[in-house]
Amino acid sequence: MALAEHTLQEHLPTGSTEAAAPAADTARRIQRLVAAFRLLVALALLLIALLNRDPPLLDARYPELFTLTAAVYAFFGAAALLLRGRQPTLILLVDILAISLLSHTGGGISSGIGGLLIVLVGAASLRLSNERALFAAAISALAVLGEQTLAFSQGLSPINAFIPAGVLGAIIFLVAAAANPLARRLRESEALAMQRGIDLANLAQLNDYVIQNLRESLVVVDAADEIRLINQSAADLLGADSRKTGLSLQQVSPELARVLRNWRAGQAGPDATLGFPSGGGTVRINTYVAPLEGSEDGPVLMFLEDASLLAEKVRRTKLVALGRLSASIAHEIRNPVGALSHAAQLLSESPALRDEERRLLDIIGMNSSRVSEIVENVMQLSRRDTTRAESIELGTWVDSFVKEFVSTCELSPDSLLITAPDQPLSVRMDPSHLRQVFWNLCENALQYANEDAVGPVAEIRFGRLSGMRRPYLEIADRGPGIDGEMRERLFEPFATGQAGGTGLGLFISRELCECNRATLIFEPRDEGGSIFRIVFADPRRWETNR
C-alpha cells in the first residue's frame, strides 16, 4: 500500500505550496498595474507641462516647479515599476508627497490632480493591513487639506475650495476602508479557485494514472475516427509506438480501423467474434465497441481483449485436468511398460535369436524407453518441474535424429529432406523434450503423408527467423493439411481429427516447448500440406535471464 501511495505521489502535483501563492499573486498583479498607471500619469503630466498651448491645458501656478516635479515623479514611477510592488508603504508616501506638490503647483483642488490619490491609496490598501491603510488615508486627507490651506493662505484659492478638498479626503478614507475587506475576499476567492484548480488537476492526473495502468485495453475514438484516448495496455497490444492522441486510427492500427468501419456500417458480426491479428501477428484481438453518445456515428469506446489470454485460461484448466488424469494412470502405465522392457531384455539373452529378431527386440527396447520418457514428461507437465536444458547443435542433432527415425520407422534414407543453413546453429533445450516433440511431429507428417506423392515425405528445415533472428526448427509435409475449424483447437488436449487418436500429442508437444521457453507454431503450406515450427528462445537471452 505504501508503494502504491508513493507511486501516486510521483504523478500528482503538490498543492500545499501552490495553494498559498494566490494571496500574494493577486496583490502583486494589482501593484504592477498601478505602477504602470503611475508611470503613464507622470509622463502625461510631464507632457502637458512641456506643451506650449494657448490657452494652456493646465492652469499651473508654478510652471517650472510643476515641470520639475513631474519629471522627478516620472523617474520615480519607472523605478517603482522595476521594484515590482516591493516597499508599498514607502512608495505610497512618495505618491502622497508628489501628488500633493503637483496639485499645489498645477492649480490646486480644481485641477483634479489630487483625485489620483484615490486610486493610489486604494491600490496600496489591498496589500497593507487595515490599520496602515487607514493611517495612509489619514495622511492623504491631511495632505489634501494642507495643500488647500497653503493655497488659501497665499491667496491662490477661494475659501469654498475647502469643500471639495474635504470631500476628496472623505472619499480617500472610504476607499481605504473598503479596499482591505475587498482585498481579503479577493484573496480568499482566488485561493479557493486555485485550490479547485489543483483538485481538478489532481483528479485528472489520477484518472489518467488509473486508466493508463488498467489491465483492460481501452481506446476512445471520436466521430472522425481520431484517437482521443489510448492507454498503455492498448498501445502495447496494437504495437503502437506511443500514446499520442489526435492521430488517425487508420494510421495507428489499420485492422482496428477496419473493425470500427464495419461496426459503424452494421457489419461487425465476423470481426466482433473472430477479432483481428495484432501488429506483430503474435496474438488475436477481440474488439467490443460501445457508443458514448448513443449513436454509431459519434465517438466510441473500444475494449480490446487479447484472445490468447482467454485461451490460456482454458488451456490451463485442461492442463489441470490432464495432470490429475496423468497422475492417476502413470503408475498403471509404468508397470506394463516395465514388464515389456524386462521381457525384451530377457529374450535378447537367448542364443537362438537371429539378427532380424534381435533388431526387432532392439526396437521394442528403444520404444519401451521412449514410452517411459513420455510418461515422465506428462508427469512433469502436471508438476511444472524445472527443465534440464542443454546447449544443442542443431545440425548434428538433426542428422542423428533423422537416422534414428528412418531406421525405426523403416523408411528409405531419402524420405526426409534436410535443409540446413551455412553457419552452425545452437539452441538451448532439454534434449529429451526436443526429441519427443520432433518425433511426434515427424510421425504426424508420416501418418498424414500423401501416398501418391513422389519424392521426400517431408522436409526438415532449421535456421534463424528473418525478423526476430530467433533460431527455429520446422517440418513441412505434403499431406492434406488441416481445415479451419480444427486449426482453432489444434493444440488443445483431447482434440484430434483421426479416429482412435488421443489428441494429446500436439498439446504435450506445445507444453514441452513452453517449458523450455520455446514456441510451437502451425502454418498452412502454400503448396498444400502443413508446417509445424519450433521457435527457440535466443540462447544468449536464455542465459542472461535464468
pLDDT in tens, 251-264: 888 888 888 888 88
User: Residue 21: pLDDT above 60?
Assistant: no
**Quick one: which of 20, 66, 76, 23 has its CA closest to 45?**
66
Rounded CA-CA distance 158/151 in Å is 9
Least confident range from 123-137, 236-250, 304-318, 486-500: namely: 486-500
pLDDT of res. 393:
93
How many percent of the chain have pLDDT more than 90?
A: 6
Across-strand partners of 179? none
Rounded CA-CA distance 341/361 in Å is 9
**Quick one: which of 375, 445, 372 has its CA closest to 415?**
445
Average pLDDT over residues 61-81: 85
Residue type, 195: Q
C-alpha cell at 73: 515623479
Give the global pTM: 0.40
How far the first Cα of the chain sits from its last, in Å, is: 30
| Per-position b or e across 164-182, b if 16+ CB within 10 A of its CB | bbeebbebbbebbeebbee
pLDDT of res. 66:
85
Residue 247 CB coordination number (10 Å): 14
The dihedral over CA atoms of 422, 424, 430, 436, expressed in degrees to the nearest 10, equals 30
Least confident range from 253-262, 312-321, 397-406, 513-522: namely: 312-321
Going along the chain from its start, the domains and CATH numbers come out as 15-200 (no CATH), 217-306 (3.30.450.20), 310-383 (1.10.287), 390-544 (3.30.565.10)
What are the φ/ψ torsions at residue 348 (nearest 5 degrees)? -70, -15
Across-strand partners of 248? 226
Residues in the chain: 546
User: Residue 391: pLDDT above 80?
Assistant: yes
User: Residue 542: pLDDT above 60?
Assistant: no
CA angle 23, 28, 29 (to 5 degrees): 105
Least confident range from 60-74, 80-94, 438-452, 518-532: namely: 80-94
Rounded CA-CA distance 306/312 in Å is 10
How many percent of the chain have pLDDT more than 70?
A: 79
**Quick one: which of 16, 73, 21 has its CA closest to 47?**
73
Average pLDDT over residues 40-44: 86
**Which DSSP symbol is given to 198?**
H
